[in-house]
Structure 1
Amino acid sequence: MLSRLALRPFRPIKASEVTVNSTRNAYIHFKRKWDVNSYDEMRELRKMLGSITDKDAMMATIANRCEEPDKAEWPEPNRMTRRAGVIAKKLGCMSYWTRDGESHAMCALQILDSTVMDVSVMGPDDRTGVWMAGGQMTAEEIAKTPDYKLEPFRARSMHPCHEVRFMGTSIDSLLPVKTVLGSSHFRCGQFVDVLGTSIDRGFQGGMKRHGFKGLPASHGVTRAHRAIGAIGHKKDGLWRGTKMPGHMGGYRRYARCMRVVRVDHKNNVIFVRGRHTIGYITEFVSIHDATYYPPHSAVPHPTHFTARDGELPEQQFWDEVIQPGSDTFVFEGESN
């Protein structure tokens, strides 16, 4: 049994699976047996959570670290570290060429200056993370927005935004309020998960919704060519989950393990490999570090600080991508 569990992919421990009781002793609820990797990791997590006595004091410590990131002592990231995500807008798809001469599709996602709006540390729902706001409203949109939606932004002296989403993080990756995350939060070559709302296609038949073949075009079939056919012979109804016509799309879905192939720091745009990013163009999406891949070694923790990590160029490319303007073929002279 242990050997079978060891073959399954490792999933980092979520903050929602960790709870602190009234005596400040940390204990872990594991929903899957293969989350237990070693007692050393559990002991480190208890030590980290047991030192928390006051949320305000902890946030003051985090704020002091971010003010002077080059002088502060940051905790080393581990397998349980989970950084904050960002809010982005889907711009569309384009292609790129690799050094082996192959063309691939990539999707452009513009990060909308995601700002930390609030911080949750083991709240009533046992979640630890930050509330991110992105996509600033125009003056006309603010005038048409009800006051109850603008009050949370006015209380924090922030510009109203279209999207506010919760981003689960580990305790060592929390950020102070009003911290702005941009394209420098990610690095070329790392894998990310993109969360969005799939395209809503309304009520669809079995052929479009599930890819059924349909009925023959002739040989006794009359006006039922796109029917789904037999659905079983259960006497007291249908089996639960039977594939039938119904509503298609409009669900929250993940596009997992998409590699970042290009980062445009000037326009705050990242390009991820593949065209299967969820949602319409101009749709809001959330970008997180990939769950099923280990963290990239070059990823800054908890985010990029110019004083600590230095300035970044306007454009960054993955090593396998041919950069625009570079020579694709090199002709060398024949040796005598």
Structure 2
Amino acid sequence: MYSLILRRLNSTAALPAVSKRQLISPMAVPALKSVAPLPFKSPEAKRLRKRLLDRPGLIGVKRGMTQFYSRNGDRVPATVLEIDQVEVVYNKTVDKNGYYAVQVGYGHKLKNQTKAMLGHYRNAKVSPKETLFEFEVKDENGLVPVGSQLKADHFKPGQFVDVISKTKGKGFSGVMKRWNFSGLPATHGTSLAHRSAGSTGMNTTPARVLPGKKMAGHLGDEWNTIFNLEVLDVNAEKGYILVKGCVSGSNGSYVQIRDALKKYGSHILQDK
């Protein structure tokens, strides 16, 4: 032990520019400025983990399905989405709201508007809208000036879009229709329970039905996203967009149209 102490003293004495007092003093160690890590569930951390787009999308109304003929003569099914008076109403920022988003309104509706919403539209200098949706964007470069009108030529033929809409409500449904259960056996003692779910609980432990169990209940009337639909035709003057394939929801329902997130979106951390 004594030899180890002498060895350390000799090694410190061999340093010409540093004294023993500086080596012993805690103040001699240079302080490094560190940044507190973001909590995993904080709004900023959630925003950085998201895959976002560079620009907002449009609001449309599903008007039905038709057929579209390509230049090769192929006939494909298409959905007609109407675009009418889509204007930017408000911009959300990180400093004020915690994220970047563009609030977009559709159509014109003066009846049954509250005073608060009328003031909101007056500040944006736009007409009262039928409905409002917001599109989250990656950074402040994706914000659009308030009052700007977005037309159908916001998208180009040939590109891919995602369409978000509410599915048709089908009321209370059983497990066979709602979750594709096979049902109970048709014979061998099954009595008046052919389409039931069967046993849903467990034994003494935990002696309860766990949350999330697939059971009978309300089917439909929920938001659904159909990814990577091809834009077939765009007409800004008449105000419509033709997309290939079907779109969820009934005719006359509102839809959100955005650039295909899986093709054109990216994570904020990857860009940095």
Q: TM-score normalised to the size of structure 2? A: 0.71
2:196 is the alignment partner of 1:227: yes
Taking only the aligned residue pairs, the percentage that are identical comes to: 28
Q: Residues of 1 paired with 2:248 and 2:203: CA distance?
A: 36
C-alpha distance 219-273 of structure 1, shift in aligned 2 (>3 A): same
Asked if residue 165 in structure 1 is aligned to residue 139 in structure 2, the reply is: no
Secondary structure (helix, strand or coil) at the match of 1:124 reads helix
Structure 1 residues 143 and 111 mapped into 2: Cα distance closer, same or farther (>3 Å)? Answer: closer
Moved over 6 A (4+): none
Please tell me the residue identity of whatever aligns with 1:290: A
Contiguous gaps of at least 5 residues in structure 2:
1-41, 266-272
Q: Which amino acid aligns with 2:258?
A: H
- Does structure 1 residue 197 correspond to structure 2 residue 166? yes
In the alignment, what sits opposite 1:287? 257
Shift of 1:188: 0.8
Amino acid at match of 1:204: S
Change in CA separation of 1:246 and 1:259 when aligned onto 2, cut-off 3 Å? same
CA shift, 1:173, in A, is 2.5
Amino acid corresponding to residue 64 of structure 2 in structure 1: G
Higher RCO (CA 8 Å, separation ≥ 6 residues): 2
SS at match of 2:94: coil
The aligned residue for residue 18 of structure 2 is: none
CA change 1:124–1:157 in 2 (3 A) is closer
Q: Secondary structure at the match of 1:136?
A: coil
- The residue aligned with 2:114 is 146
**Structure 1 residue corresponding to 2:175, chosen from 206, 209, 222:** 206
How many Å apart are 1:171 and its aligned residue?
2.1
Tell me, in whole angstroms, the C-alpha distance in 2 between the residues paired with 1:241 and 1:95: 40
CA shift in 2, pair 1:123/1:88, >3 Å: farther
Which runs of structure 2 are paired with 1:105-124 in the superposition (5 Å)?
105-124=77-96
The one-letter code of the counterpart of 1:238 is: V
What is the DSSP-based 3-state SS (H/G/I as helix, E as strand, rest coil) of the residue aligned with 1:153?
helix
Measured on the aligned residues, the alpha-carbon RMSD in Å equals 2.8
Tell me if the contact between 1:188 and 1:261 (Cα under 8 Å) persists in the aligned partners. yes
Hey, what's the Cα distance between the residues in 1 that align with 2:243 and 2:154?
14
The offset of 1:183, in angstroms, is: 0.7
CA distance in 1, matches of 2:124, 2:253: 26
Residue 271 of structure 1: which of 222, 229, 242 is its match?
242
Distance 1:161 1:30, change over 3 A: closer
How many residues are treated as equivalent by the alignment?
Answer: 221
Gaps of 5+ in 1: 1-16, 20-26, 36-79, 296-336
Contact residue 125 and residue 147 of structure 2 kept, 8 A: no
Q: What's the counterpart of residue 183 of structure 1?
A: 152
Answer yes or no: is 1:253 the counterpart of 2:221. no
Q: TM-score, normalised by structure 1?
A: 0.59
Q: Which one has the largest radius of gyration?
A: 2
User: Any conservation in 1 of the 2:151–2:239 contact (CA below 8 Å)?
Assistant: yes
